[in-house]
Amino acid sequence: MVEKNNSENNSSKDDFILDDIYLHHKNRHFKHNSFIGYCIQQIDKKRNNKQILKTNKIGLRCEEIDLIEKTNTILLGGSVAFSSFATTEDQTISSLLEKNSNKKIINCGVGGHIFKQHLSLYFNYLKNIETKNIIILFGFNDLVNCYLGRKYDEILNIEFSSKVQDNYLSPIKTSLKTLVIQILEKIGLRNFTHDLLLTQNQEKTNKGINEIEIINYINKIKKDINYFNSYCNKFNINLIISLQPSIYNSKKDFSEYEKKNLNLYLSKFPQRYKFIKIFNNFLHEELSSFKNYYNLENIFQDTSETIFFDEVHLNDKGNYILANFYKKLLD
C-alpha cells in the first residue's frame, strides 16, 4: 500500500509500498468489453475496516451506472483519474473533489485507456446521465500508445484480439506459454513473470522518432476533441480538457525520492524520454487553441513534497491538489 500522505497538511514521507490490488495487469483484473476494448472486473477491497477500492460491474469507481440519473460532474481518464494507489476510497480525486465542492462527482477513469476510449465509454455508457460538467484528464496513455507504434484507431481491442489470434494460429505454443506462466506463479515467481513481461513491453521502441506519426496521432485526438466540444456545447455541458502532469514534464521541485526515480527512468529509457518531450510539446501546441484546455505541468510547482511515486501516478497529496484545481472550474 502507498503510505498515506496526509493531503491536508504538510507532513510527507517518501516510503512508498505499492498496494497489490492496483496492479491490474499482474492480477488479471482486466476483461474484454466490446464497446470500450477492456475494463476492470468488479472489485471490493477493504483493509482495517477501510474501503480501499470498490468498482461496479464495468470496473468504474462509482455506483452502478443504471442507478445514476443525474450528477454534477463526470470524470474521465486513465489510471490517474481512476486514482490508482489512493490509500482509501475517500482519497481519490473524485471523492476529494466531491467533498470539497459539495457536488456529486462520478469517477469513470479506466487504467490504460486512451482518449478515444474515454469518448467510447461516455457515448456507450454515460451519455444518458444528466451532468453539468465533464472533466477529461489524459495524455500519458496516448503518449505510450504512440511510442509503442500503435495507431490511434487500433487500440480498442488490440490486446485481446491479438491473444485470440495467437491462440488460433499457434494453439500449442500459446497453451505452453500460459502453462509455464501458471507454474511460475504457483511456485511463488508471480512478481518475476509480471516484471519480465513489463520490461519486455517497455523496451519495444522505435529505431527512430517519427514526428510525422506523432503529428498524425495528435491530429486525430484534436479531431475528436473538436467533435466532443461541439457535442458538449449543444447540450450545455462544461467540458474541461486537461493534460495530465508526469514526472517528465512537471515543473515541481522534486523530492529526493522523485529525483532518484527520474534519473532511473532517464538512464534506462533515454530514447523514450526524447519521444515524451516531442509528443508533449506537439500535443500542448495543438490543444492550446481550445479555450477549455488546461496544461497541468505547473500544478505541483508550489510543493517540494513527494507527489509522483512513479512516472505518472500520484499519491494522496497529488490527488488533493488536483481536486482543488478542478473545484474552481465546475459549474
Tell me: the pLDDT tens digits for 12-64?
A: 444 444 557 787 767 678 888 889 988 999 999 988 889 999 999 999 999 99
Cα torsion through 176, 179, 180, 184, rounded to 10: 180
The CA angle 234-236-242, to the nearest 5 degrees, is 100
Q: What does the pLDDT read at residue 28?
A: 74
Is residue 160 a part of any domain in this protein? yes
Is residue 240 a part of any domain in this protein? yes
Beta strands in the chain (DSSP E): 30-33, 37-40, 44-47, 50-54, 73-77, 105-109, 133-138, 238-243, 293-295
Number of domains observed in the structure of the chain: 1
Q: Which domain holds residue 312?
A: 20-327
Is residue 10 a part of any domain in this protein? no
> What mean pLDDT do residues 229-253 have?
97
Q: What does the pLDDT read at residue 170?
A: 61
Instruction: Supply φ then ψ for residue 234, to 5 degrees.
Output: -60, -35
CATH number at residue 217: 3.40.50.1110
Contact by Cβ (8 Å): 272, 147: yes
As a whole number of angstroms, the distance between CA 236 and CA 238 comes to 7
pLDDT tens per residue across span 120-173: 999 999 999 999 999 999 999 999 999 988 889 875 454 555 554 455 456 566
Is residue 15 a part of any domain in this protein? no
- Residue 316 belongs to what H/E stretch? helix 316-327
Q: What does the pLDDT read at residue 222?
A: 97
Is residue 6 a part of any domain in this protein? no
pLDDT tens per residue across span 270-310: 888 999 999 999 999 999 999 999 999 999 999 999 999 89
Is residue 4 a part of any domain in this protein? no
As a whole number of angstroms, the distance between CA 145 and CA 204 comes to 11
Going by C-alpha positions, the residue among 259, 247, 255, 260 that lies closest to residue 304 is 255
Q: What does the pLDDT read at residue 209?
A: 84
Average pLDDT value over all residues in the chain: 85
pLDDT tens per residue across span 77-108: 999 999 999 999 999 999 999 999 999 999 99
Is residue 126 a part of any domain in this protein? yes
Q: What does the pLDDT read at residue 302?
A: 94
Q: Which residue has the cell 444518458?
A: 128
As a whole number of angstroms, the distance between CA 28 and CA 40 comes to 9
Q: What does the pLDDT read at residue 14?
A: 46
Is residue 182 a part of any domain in this protein? yes
Contact by Cβ (8 Å): 251, 301: yes
As a whole number of angstroms, the distance between CA 4 and CA 285 comes to 36
Q: How far is CA 191 from the centre of its chain?
A: 22
